[in-house]
């Protein structure tokens, strides 16, 4: 559960969500605005802790961590891909992908790991380009490489194709699905797009802070 107090009003953003996500799976979370999607993403991504209940990630009880421990878990266990890419505009693709390693205090083979991540998303020839020199689809590939570089337990993707045209969006989804299949990376996609959700193995529907149904596309 995640409960917010707003004066005398109690807002149950998540009201008893019970979910098990298997390692190596790719799932999508859907629901109308206010359903709890973003709150659930924040909890799964180690950006917040539940008010009640437990969250076990990769065998670690995240719900009992303090802020510093949560930051370490977030850096080591979770990769994020956002709709707006969230790249540093004055930094090269390589420098952007190196960031999680810098924050994690990893200096050994940092450049090599970042180059390998960029190569894995098809951008080995764009490592020195800045975001303004890349297309939207290429910028999202840089963001995916940044999410992958720490070899996280899960990747949280928030509307990953939302700012892309249909062709680039298809390419990004093809890449995400390929990474899930080849690297066995667990991927959780928050989306409003039924077409995106239909490409995942499992769709979880939220409403009023509760899981109301699930689907398992063929």
Cα 46 off chain centre by: 11
17 HSE (CA, 13 A, CB side): 31
What is the 3 state secondary structure string of the chain? CEEEEECCEEEEEECCCCCCCCCCCEEEEECCCCCCHHHHHHHHCCCCCCCCCCCEECCEEHHHCCHHHHHHHHHHHEEEEECCCCCCCCCCHHHHHHHHHHHCCCCCCHHHHHHHHHHHCCCCCCCCCCHHHCCHHHHHHHHHHHHHCCCCCEEEEECCCCCCCHHHHHHHHHHHHHHHHHHCCEEEEECCCHHHHCCCCEEEEEECCEEEEEECCC
Which pLDDT does position 75 carry in this prediction?
Answer: 87
Between CA 212 and CA 208, with CA 216 as vertex, the angle to 5 degrees is 15
38 HSE (CA, 13 A, CB side): 6
Which pLDDT does position 218 carry in this prediction?
Answer: 63
41 HSE (CA, 13 A, CB side): 25
Strands 78-82 and 186-190: unpaired
Which pLDDT does position 206 carry in this prediction?
Answer: 97
Q: Are 178 and 196 in contact (CB under 8 A)?
A: no
Q: Compute the distance between CA of residue 103 and CA of residue 85 in angstroms, rounded to an integer.
A: 18
The encoded tokens of residue 147 equal 């999410």
Rounded CA Rg of the chain: 17
Residue 175 CB: number of other CB atoms within 10 A? 18
- The pLDDT averaged over each successive group of 10 residues in the chain (218 residues) is 91 95 96 93 92 92 89 90 92 95 84 94 94 95 94 92 92 93 93 94 96 92
């Amino acid at each position: 559960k995640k409960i917010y107090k707003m004066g005398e009003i109690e807002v149950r953003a998540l009201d008893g969500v019970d979910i098990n996500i298997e390692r190596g799976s790719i799932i999508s979370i859907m629901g109308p605005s206010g359903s709890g999607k973003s709150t659930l993403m924040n909890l799964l991504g180690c950006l917040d802790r539940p008010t009640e209940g437990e969250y076990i990630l990769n065998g670690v009880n995240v719900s009992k961590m303090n802020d510093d421990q949560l930051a370490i878990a977030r850096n080591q266990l979770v990769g994020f891909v956002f709709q707006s890419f969230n790249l540093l505009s004055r930094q090269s693709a390589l420098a952007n992908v190196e960031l999680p390693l810098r924050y994690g205090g990893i200096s050994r083979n940092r450049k090599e790991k970042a180059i390998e991540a960029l190569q894995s998303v098809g951008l080995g020839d764009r490592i020195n380009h800045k975001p303004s020199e890349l297309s939207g689809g290429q910028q999202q590939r840089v963001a995916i490489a940044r999410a992958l570089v720490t070899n996280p337990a899960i990747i949280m993707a928030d509307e990953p194709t939302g700012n892309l045209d249909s062709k680039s969006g298809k390419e990004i989804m093809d890449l995400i699905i390929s990474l899930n299949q080849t690297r066995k990376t667990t991927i959780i996609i928050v989306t409003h797009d039924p077409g995106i959700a239909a490409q995942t193995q499992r769709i979880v529907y939220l409403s009023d802070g509760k899981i109301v149904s699930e689907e398992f596309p063929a």
